[in-house]
C-alpha cells in the first residue's frame, strides 16, 4: 500500500466520523481534482456576449474528458451594474446577464431568433474581455420577451415565489426602486423608501405589479437554468462548488431589507500588514451577529437553503471573518484606509468561540460541504477549528514554503491533508505569469516600506541591489541571484536584528527561482525553453499533494497545451487593491466546444490517474 493510499485511508476515516461527516458522506471523501472557472470567463458558440448558465454543461463535458470532478465557480449573484462579484446586491438573487435567451422556459424562442442574432452581433464572445454593456442590452430584450409572453407565464413561477418569499419580495422591490431612482444607492433615496415605511413600500408595490413580476420571473428563469446545469453535472459525476461571499454590498437588497442585521456605522476591511501599510477598507458593512442570532440565524440559513439548489460544495470567502473581522468607523476619512480600525470582537479570547458558533450554524443547516478561503494573516484558532471540523482550507503551491527557516518549497506530502491545493487563486497571477514577472523578485512598495521602517534609505541602496531598468509591474529584480546574506547586510548597513523584515524579504526571494526549479525537478532554463513541460511538472507536484482536493484555474490547465498561447500577465481574473478595467473581465480565448478534444486532455487524465485523483 502506497504512502498516499495509507494517508487517504486515515483522512477518510477521520472525515467520515467528524463534525462534517454528513457533508463528506454526501459527496464521498475521495481525492479529487477541480477547475476554477468564472462563468464570465468562458463561452460557447451559443453564448450571447458572456458565458451563460447552460455553458456549464460544456464545462462538465470537458471535466468528464479529463477526469476532473469539481467545477469551482465565482459568485453568480446579481451585482447590479458595478460588476464586482464579491460586492453583490443580493446574497440570494442570481445575475440575469447569465441567462440563455433561447432556453427560457415558457417562451417561444423562435420568435426572438432575429433579436438574439442582432444582440450576438453587437456583443461577440471570445474577444478577450467582457463587455458588460451586454447586461443592459439583455435586460431590455428580456423585458420585451416577458411582456410578449405574459399570458404564458407558468404556474411554477408562483410556486417558486412562494418557496422563496423570505428574500424575493424584498429583492424585487429593491430592484424596481433602484431603476426608478436611476440606480442611486438606497441611502440616497427619499426618506420613506430609505426607511422602508410600510405605506410607501405598499404604494410602490401597488403601482408596479408588472415590474415586480418581471424581476421574479427573471430569478425563476435563472433558478431553472442553473438547477438544470447542476443536474447535468450530477449525472456526469461532477460536483459544482459555489462561492458564497462572506460580505454583501452596503448598497444591496439584503442590507436595505435587514438593516438591523448589519453594523452600518462601520466598514469592513483589513488591518495594516506587510503588504498594505495602511490596511484595507472594503466598504461592506460587518454583520451584527447578535441581531441575526436573535432571529434564529434565518438570514444565514435561508441563504444556504437557496444555494443548495445549485451546489454540492461552497467556498466560504474570508472565513477568518467568522472568527473576527477588522472594522473601521464610516466617519473615518477614506484616505486613512484601514489604519484606525479594530477587530470585532475586540477580545481575542472570543474569536474561537465566535467562529465555532457560526460554523456550527452552517454545518447544521446544509448538506453542502464547506471549503474555506483561509489565506492571509490568520489567527491560529482558525486553522485549528477548520481542521477539527473537517473543512478544507487552501494551500497555494508558490506560498507553501518553509518560511523563516530554509524558505524551501514544501514537498507535496507536507500539505495539510484536509485542504485544497492549487497553483493560484482568482486574485493571483497564473503560474507562468508568476514565474515570468514575480518569482525571484520583491514588491517595490513593500521593500521601500520595510526600509523606511528600519531607517534605511532605499534610494541609496537600490542600484547596488536591483536592476531597476528591468522593473516590471512594480517588481524589483535582484542584480544577481548569488548575493550573499553578508553582502546584503553590508549594503543596507544593518545587522540581522536591526533589519529583520528587510532581511526576510531578501531571504524569501533571492533564491526563489532556483528553489522552485529544484522543487519541480527541472533543470535551469526549462520554463523559458519549454513552458509546457514546466507547467506539467508544476501540475504534477500540486496533484501529488497530500491535500484531499486540488484545483487549478482554467488558464493554468490549458497552459499545458502548446496551442494555448496567452499573455501570462494579462491572463488574470483580478488585480487586488486596484480599480482596473481588467478586473473581472478575463475571457479564455477558446470556446468551450474547442477544448473538448484537445490532445492535452489525455495528459491531464494520465496525471490525475497517476496521483489517484480520478473518481470512478
Q: Which residues contact 612 (CB under 8 A, 6 or more apart)?
A: 4, 5, 8, 31
Q: What is the pLDDT of residues 473-516, one digit of tens each?
A: 999 999 988 899 999 999 999 999 999 999 999 999 999 999 99
Q: What is each CA distance from 73 to 37, 239, 313, 599, in whole angstroms?
A: 6, 11, 10, 25
Q: Tell me, what's the pLDDT at 1?
A: 42
Q: Tell me, what's the pLDDT at 242?
A: 97
Instruction: Please provide the size of the chain in residues.
Output: 616
Residue 344 host element (H or E) = strand 342-344
Q: Shortest CA distance to 513 belongs to which of 405, 435, 569?
A: 435
Q: What is the pLDDT of residues 39-91, one digit of tens each?
A: 999 999 999 999 999 999 999 999 999 999 999 999 999 999 999 999 999 99
Q: What is each CA distance from 427 to 80, 550, 570, 600, in whole angstroms?
A: 22, 17, 12, 26
For residue 148, whether the previous peptide bond is cis, meaning omega lies within 30 degrees of 0, is: no
Mean pLDDT to the nearest integer, 232-248: 96
The pLDDT-based confidence of 154 (bands split at 50, 70, 90) is: confident
Report phi then psi at 315, rounded to 5: -95, 130
Radius of gyration from C-alpha coordinates of the chain: 25
Cα–Cα distance, 390 to 20 (Å, whole number) = 6
Cα–Cα distance, 509 to 504 (Å, whole number) = 9
Q: Tell me, what's the pLDDT at 489?
A: 96
Q: What is the pLDDT of residues 221-239, one digit of tens each?
A: 999 999 999 999 999 999 9
Cα–Cα distance, 120 to 99 (Å, whole number) = 13
Q: Shortest CA distance to 104 belongs to which of 57, 58, 63, 152?
A: 152
First to last CA, the chain: 19
In this structure, how many other beta carbons lie within 10 angstroms of the beta carbon of residue 459? 8
**Res 563 pLDDT > 70:** no
Q: Tell me, what's the pLDDT at 10?
A: 85
Q: What is the pLDDT of residues 373-416, one digit of tens each?
A: 999 889 999 999 999 999 999 999 999 999 999 999 999 999 99
- High-pLDDT (> 90) share of the chain, %: 85
- The mean pLDDT of the chain is 94
Q: Are 508 and 529 in contact (CB under 8 A)?
A: no
Which range among 10-14, 23-27, 146-150, 209-213 shows the weakest confidence by mean pLDDT? 146-150
pTM for this one? 0.95
Mean pLDDT to the nearest integer, 162-186: 98
Q: Are 153 and 106 in contact (CB under 8 A)?
A: yes
Query: Can you state the percent helix, strand and coil of the chain, rounding each to 5?
Result: 50, 10, 40
Cα–Cα distance, 217 to 369 (Å, whole number) = 30
Amino acid at each position: 500500500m502506497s504512502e498516499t493510499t495509507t494517508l487517504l485511508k486515515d483522512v477518510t476515516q477521520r472525515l467520515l466520523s467528524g463534525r462534517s461527516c454528513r457533508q463528506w458522506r454526501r459527496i464521498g471523501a475521495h481525492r479529487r481534482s477541480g477547475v476554477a472557472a468564472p462563468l464570465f470567463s468562458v463561452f460557447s458558440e451559443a453564448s450571447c456576449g458572456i458565458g451563460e448558465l447552460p455553458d456549464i454543461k460544456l464545462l462538465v463535458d470537458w471535466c468528464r474528458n479529463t477526469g476532473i470532478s469539481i467545477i469551482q465557480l465565482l459568485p453568480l449573484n446579481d451585482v447590479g451594474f458595478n460588476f464586482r462579484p464579491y460586492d453583490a446586491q443580493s446574497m440570494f438573487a442570481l445575475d440575469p446577464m447569465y441567462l440563455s435567451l433561447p432556453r427560457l422556459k415558457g417562451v417561444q424562442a423562435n420568435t426572438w431568433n432575429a433579436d438574439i442574432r442582432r444582440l450576438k452581433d453587437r456583443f461577440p464572445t471570445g474577444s478577450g474581455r467582457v463587455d458588460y454593456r451586454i447586461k443592459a442590452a439583455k435586460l431590455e430584450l428580456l423585458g420585451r420577451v416577458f411582456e410578449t409572453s405574459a399570458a404564458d407565464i407558468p404556474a411554477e413561477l408562483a410556486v417558486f415565489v412562494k418557496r422563496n418569499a423570505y428574500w424575493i419580495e424584498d429583492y424585487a422591490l429593491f430592484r424596481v426602486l433602484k431603476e426608478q431612482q436611476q440606480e442611486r444607492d438606497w441611502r440616497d433615496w427619499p426618506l420613506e423608501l430609505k426607511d422602508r415605511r410600510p405605506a410607501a413600500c405598499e404604494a410602490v408595490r401597488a403601482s408596479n405589479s408588472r415590474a415586480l413580476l418581471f424581476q421574479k420571473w427573471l430569478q425563476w428563469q435563472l433558478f431553472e437554468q442553473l438547477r438544470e446545469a447542476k443536474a447535468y453535472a450530477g449525472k456526469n459525476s461532477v460536483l459544482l462548488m459555489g462561492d458564497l461571499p462572506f460580505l454583501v454590498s452596503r448598497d444591496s437588497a439584503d442590507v436595505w431589507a435587514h438593516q438591523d442585521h448589519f453594523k452600518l456605522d462601520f466598514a469592513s476591511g483589513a488591518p495594516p500588514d506587510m503588504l498594505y501599510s495602511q490596511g484595507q477598507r472594503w466598504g461592506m458593512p460587518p454583520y451584527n451577529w447578535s441581531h441575526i442570532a436573535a432571529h434564529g440565524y434565518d438570514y444565514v440559513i435561508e441563504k444556504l437553503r437557496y444555494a443548495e439548489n445549485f451546489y454540492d460544495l461552497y467556498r466560504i470567502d474570508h472565513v477568518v471573518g467568522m472568527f473576527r473581522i477588522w472594522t473601521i468607523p464610516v466617519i473615518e476619512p477614506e484616505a486613512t484606509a484601514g489604519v484606525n480600525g479594530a477587530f470585532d470582537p475586540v477580545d481575542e479570547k472570543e474569536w474561537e468561540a465566535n467562529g465555532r458558533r457560526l460554523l456550527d450554524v452552517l454545518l447544521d443547516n446544509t448538506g453542502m460541504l464547506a471549503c474555506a478561503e483561509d489565506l492571509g494573516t490568520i489567527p491560529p484558532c482558525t486553522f485549528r477549528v477548520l481542521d477539527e471540523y473537517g473543512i478544507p482550507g487552501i494551500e497555494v503551491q508558490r506560498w507553501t514554503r518553509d518560511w523563516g527557516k530554509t524558505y524551501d518549497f514544501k514537498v507535496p506530502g507536507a500539505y495539510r491533508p484536509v485542504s485544497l491545493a492549487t497553483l493560484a487563486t482568482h486574485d493571483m497571477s497564473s503560474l507562468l505569469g508568476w514565474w515570468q514577472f514575480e518569482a525571484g523578485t520583491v514588491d517595490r512598495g513593500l521593500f521601500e516600506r520595510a526600509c523606511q521602517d528600519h531607517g534605511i534609505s532605499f534610494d541609496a541602496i537600490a542600484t547596488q541591489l536591483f536592476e531597476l531598468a528591468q522593473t516590471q509591474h512594480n517588481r524589483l529584480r535582484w542584480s544577481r541571484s548569488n548575493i550573499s546574506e553578508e553582502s546584503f547586510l553590508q549594503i543596507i548597513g544593518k545587522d540581522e536584528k536591526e533589519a529583520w523584515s528587510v532581511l526576510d524579504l531578501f531571504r524569501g526571494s533571492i533564491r526563489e527561482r532556483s528553489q522552485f526549479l529544484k522543487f519541480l525537478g527541472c533543470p535551469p532554463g526549462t520554463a523559458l525553453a519549454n513552458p509546457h513541460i514546466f507547467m506539467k511538472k508544476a501540475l504534477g507536484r500540486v496533484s501529488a499533494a497530500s491535500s484531499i482536493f486540488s484545483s487549478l484555474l482554467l488558464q493554468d490547465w490549458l497552459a499545458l497545451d502548446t496551442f494555448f498561447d496567452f499573455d501570462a500577465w494579462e491572463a488574470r481574473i483580478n488585480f487586488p487593491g486596484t480599480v482596473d478595467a481588467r478586473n473581472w473581465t478575463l475571457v479564455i480565448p477558446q470556446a468551450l466546444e474547442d477544448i473538448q478534444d484537445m490532445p492535452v486532455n489525455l495528459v491531464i487524465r494520465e496525471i490525475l490517474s497517476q496521483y489517484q485523483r480520478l473518481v470512478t
